[in-house]
Amino acid sequence: MYIKQKMIKILAISVLMLIGSVVATEDQQFSIPEGPQLGQPATAEEVAALSINVFSDGRGLPEGSGSVVQGASIYQSKCIVCHGAGGLGGSAEPLAGAKMGLTGEWPEKTIGTLWPYATTLFDFTRRSMPMTAPGSLNNDEVYAVTAYLLYLNGIVDKNLVLNKETLMQVKMPNVDGFINIYEQKKQKNK
Amino acid sequence: MSKKKNTNKLPNSLKPVAGNGLLDRRLFLQKGLTFTALTTAATVAPSVIAKASEGSEKQAEIDPIRPPWMRQPGKPFSFYGVPSPYEDKVVRLPSANSVLQGNGASWSPLHQLEGTITPNGLHFERHHNGVPQIDPEHHKLLIHGLVEKELFFSIDDLMRYPRRSQTCFIECGGNSNSSWNKNASKSPLGYSHGLVSCSNWTGIPLSTLLSEVGVRKKARWLIAEGADAFAMNMSIPLEKAMDDAMLALFQNGERLRPENGYPMRLLVPGWEGVLNVKWVRRIELSDQPVMARNETSKYTELLPSGKSRMFTLEMDAKSLITSPVSSTFIPEPGLFQITGLAWSGRGKVKKVEVSADNGETWAEAALDGPIIPKAFTRFRMPWRWDGKPAYLKSRVTDETGYVQPERDELVANRGRHGYFHYNAIMTLAVEEDGFVTHVYKAEDDKNSGNLGIDADW
């Protein structure tokens, strides 16, 4: 069935006389309509300015640093209004204070119990928070508030100064708590 | 619309095909049979009927031979048409964060719609931080990372690329999540299962753009990012991007609406809604997923073991009865059409079966064609309700042989705290007085449970 569908697709494309190159990835071949090649080259600086993805292996973490203590005061002024004191009890979701773990009748999914990577916390805070003024924190402030949230979740101690090296030393409790369904399906299909 | 007529006209030769009054789907092909449309009849609550008779004096003023709208010229032409004022109850239901109006979702009124294409203004919405009003002159797509050439694409340039159209559904991974709750939601269907919609999308195959930038051998994932206040990022396997994903510019023939990603969005057919990144402005090619907040903390499904399923991506097959509707009345016994929607993220719907006796017997429903892979398929089933309690269910099988599970089976496999990817069979109980309610099981107390609208998504 799958192959039939593919063939129909390829046929449809050839009817349109748009057959271009055939790109080979590891295990599939695709027929691709060719475009007019109008993309404009981006300079390394332009790309760097827009690249804010932080990967779980630390790629993308910027220079800069911030401490738990500094993070506490940023949290009081910029986050507490929605997330509550100590990360609990605000209008937005709890960021700390889980007592129940992930099993049982009332599992609590928070940074401390569920999140597999500290890099995600940096990436997300920098791109999306605070909701009313996203993009307003500089890298030092993001490191600081990340440090504070890790502290509130009992993952690091009060003296931590977070930077791109120390952040990679943080081990999240639930790092092994995930089953990659996509990879699983791929293995099965092989 | 006299109901007596309906029952009288039933041919004597017509035998039920399954328990509790389900009739042969070929019945629709027979001439001279009148069906009461459940959607209209059933949504008229007794209070409304009372009101209508109070207003009958007013009704009398309208001359049926030459009503007022036949005695004066109609309205002039319009630049952009809007629905009849008499249809102003057909609306999305927003459920947003009380502090942040743009954080939340709005539900598509599936129970008020027909066919398989969702009108653009009624497509469900899920925004994390509002709808950006993007000036297309200041919006470009950057493709970079593991590529030969890092390139920007302006909208004007993209409009010159070869396009294709594809009809497909988009379903939020969190759709139907209230069904994980202990008590069955009593909301009208769309307001608890309407984070799914289906459109005809037109855009540029992602593979065309990826071949222009030249994907490096080591690349396995795309990380897409939106240009809204949330700047949401999501990882998509390269294989899928090269297969049937597109950069969509048009929805049902017109340019995308702002709430659907104007000026451009990703379309990742059959996969979780959140991957169809709206307002997309950047795609990074990488050897690994980014492990974004929305693929770790959210859109993962916690299992009873404490482990979570991650990168579930594909939406499993699901079907829902859109008429009759929970918390409404079937006016009286007679001949009706049960109808609903079925879809599968894996491909085409192969068949939909309907049961009126709580799953003891099933009969195959008629499917409106053409059946399109990864798109809504409309099913229809003739039913003669005899005025006794009935339990209606629908069950889809897709072309891969996957069968929609019963709720017990889904919950046994996943627990109740997965939150996402709920696709179990839904049961509607019909009481003797015609009242329809959503229940999990025949023996459930029909009055228990959540009477409100579900605020989660």
Query: Is 70 exceeded by the pLDDT of residue B98?
Result: yes
Q: Please judge whether B100 and A123 are an interchain contact, meaning their C-beta atoms are less than 8 angstroms apart.
A: no
Pairing verdict, β B318-323 and B334-343:
antiparallel
d(CA B133, CA B338): 41
Domain span including residue B225 = 120-309
The per-residue pLDDT for B161 is 97
Query: Is 50 exceeded by the pLDDT of residue B240?
Result: yes
Mean pLDDT of all residues in A1-5: 41
ipTM of this complex > 0.90? Answer: no
pLDDT digits (tens, 9 = 90+) for B264-279: 999 999 999 999 999 9
- Taking Cα atoms as reference points, which of B317, B406, B397 lies closest to residue B350? B397
Q: Please judge whether B208 and A20 are an interchain contact, meaning their C-beta atoms are less than 8 angstroms apart.
A: yes
SS3 assignment, position B18: strand
Query: Is 80 exceeded by the pLDDT of residue B395?
Result: yes
Please say whether the beta carbons of B343 and B375 come within 8 A: yes
pLDDT digits (tens, 9 = 90+) for B126-145: 999 999 999 999 999 999 99
The CATH number of the domain holding residue B166 is 3.90.420.10
- Taking Cα atoms as reference points, which of B148, B145, B201 lies closest to residue A37? B148
Q: Please judge whether B144 and A35 are an interchain contact, meaning their C-beta atoms are less than 8 angstroms apart.
A: no
Least confident segment among A67-81, B3-17, B106-120, B209-223: B3-17
- Residue whose structure tokens are 């309907």: B354
Tell me what the pLDDT averaged over chain B comes to.
90
Which of chain B's residues have a Cβ under 8 Å away from the Cβ of A179? 303, 307-310
pLDDT digits (tens, 9 = 90+) for B24-38: 888 776 655 555 555
Pairing verdict, β B280-286 and B140-145:
parallel
Query: Is 70 exceeded by the pLDDT of residue B9?
Result: no
Counting the structural domains of chain B, the total is 1
Which of chain A's residues have a Cβ under 8 Å away from the Cβ of B162? 16, 18, 33-35
Please say whether the beta carbons of A64 and A70 come within 8 A: no
Which of chain A's residues have a Cβ under 8 Å away from the Cβ of B154? 40
Which of chain B's residues have a Cβ under 8 Å away from the Cβ of A91? 97-99
* Degrees, nearest 5: CA angle A101-A104-A109: 35
* Degrees, nearest 5: CA angle B102-B225-B284: 175
Which of chain A's residues have a Cβ under 8 Å away from the Cβ of B103? 131
How many helices (H) and strands (E) chain A has is answered by 8, 6
d(CA B424, CA B410): 7
d(CA A78, CA B169): 39
- Cα-only R_g, chain B: 24
Chain B contact for A40 (CB, 8 A cutoff): yes
Please say whether the beta carbons of B353 and B393 come within 8 A: no
Q: Return the residue of A nearest to B230 by Cα.
A: A128
Please say whether the beta carbons of B181 and B320 come within 8 A: no
Does B169 fall in a domain? yes
Shortest distance between the Cα of B213 and any Cα of chain A, in A, equals 8
The per-residue pLDDT for B134 is 98
Share of chain A above pLDDT 70, in %: 84
Domain boundaries, chain A: 1-29, 66-168
Between B49 and A43, name the one with better pLDDT.
A43
> Phi/psi at B307 (nearest 5 deg)?
-85, 155
pLDDT digits (tens, 9 = 90+) for B334-385: 999 999 999 999 999 999 999 999 999 999 999 999 999 999 999 999 999 9
* Degrees, nearest 5: CA angle B81-B83-B84: 120
Chain B contact for A89 (CB, 8 A cutoff): no
Q: Please judge whether A181 and B243 are an interchain contact, meaning their C-beta atoms are less than 8 angstroms apart.
A: no
d(CA B418, CA B312): 12
d(CA B322, CA B196): 13
pTM, entire model: 0.89
Homologous superfamily assigned to A66-168: Cytochrome c-like domain (1.10.760.10)
d(CA B28, CA B13): 15
**Alpha carbon separation from B257 to A89, B56, B124, B397 (Å, rounded):** 36, 41, 12, 33
- Taking Cα atoms as reference points, which of B342, B235, B251, B355 lies closest to residue B286? B235
